[in-house]
Amino acid sequence: MNASVTVQASPAAWTPADRNIFGLLVFVATEIMFFAGLISTFVVLRAGSAAWPPMGQPRLPIGLTAANTIVLLLSAVTMYLALDAARGGQQRSLVRRLTLTAGLGATFLVVQGSEWVRLIEHGLSATASPYGSTFFTIVGMHGLHVAGAMGALGLVLTRAISGRYPAGHHGGVELCWIYWAFVVALWPILYVLVYLT
């Protein structure tokens, strides 16, 4: 009697880097659901409003925000180039590109903050109407996420300056790139939805 033996291949063990990326992707997925909820609320409130924006509420700065959107999109390019430099072990290029990304991200936040100040001065309030509350909630939550990404970027930049990312050891830069790509990719959707509709 022939006995057949079935051998099952054991699944490849996940490296710590794989687990970190998977964990971050799960986190990003929850963030996508969170923003989907905010966007759904915005759509429902807008659909139920006779006038959007309501009379007496200031109009949003479409042109300035469009330019600021380009700034944030450029930061995704410089962040990707930083990851490319990290993969190639190009430390000086990595530091330069991370610094440029941080500058673009900071510019985005400063411009957003100055917009908020001007809108508040012109009477837009989070408590005045659903228009104001949804604007400040959606744009504010995105701003907080960009600030969080800036914190992660600052940590990665500090480590890059001290030479912590030699060739083949770029996991931290890759994680930062994934989260940065998320906050950048989200913004054009929010810009079109909040500013242009």
pLDDT of residue 107: 98
Q: Find the length of the chain.
A: 197
Give the residue among 56, 40, 64 at the shortest CA–CA distance from 193: 40
Give the residue among 108, 50, 77, 83 at the shortest CA–CA distance from 160: 83
Give the residue among 87, 74, 91, 46 at the shortest CA–CA distance from 195: 46
pLDDT of residue 197: 81
User: Per the structure block, which two tokens stand in for 9?
Assistant: 């291949």
User: Confidence band (pLDDT; 50, 70, 90) for 55?
Assistant: confident
* Mean pLDDT of the residues in the chain: 91
> What does the pLDDT look like over 144-179, one tens digit per residue?
999 999 999 999 999 999 999 888 889 999 999 999
pLDDT of residue 51: 82
Domains of the chain, earliest start first: 62-196 (1.20.120.80)
Q: Name the least confident of 5-14, 34-43, 146-155, 165-174.
A: 5-14
Q: Which pairs with CB-CB distance under 8 Å and at least 24 residues apart come from 42-48?
A: 42/134, 42/138, 42/193, 42/194, 43/193, 45/130, 45/131, 45/134, 46/134, 46/197
User: Per the structure block, which two tokens stand in for 170?
Assistant: 């770029």
DSSP 34-51: HHHHHHHHHHHHHHT-SS
> What does the pLDDT look like over 79-98, one tens digit per residue?
999 999 999 999 999 999 99
Q: Tokens 């104001």 — which residue?
A: 132
Whether residue 9 is predicted with pLDDT greater than 60 in this model: the reply is no
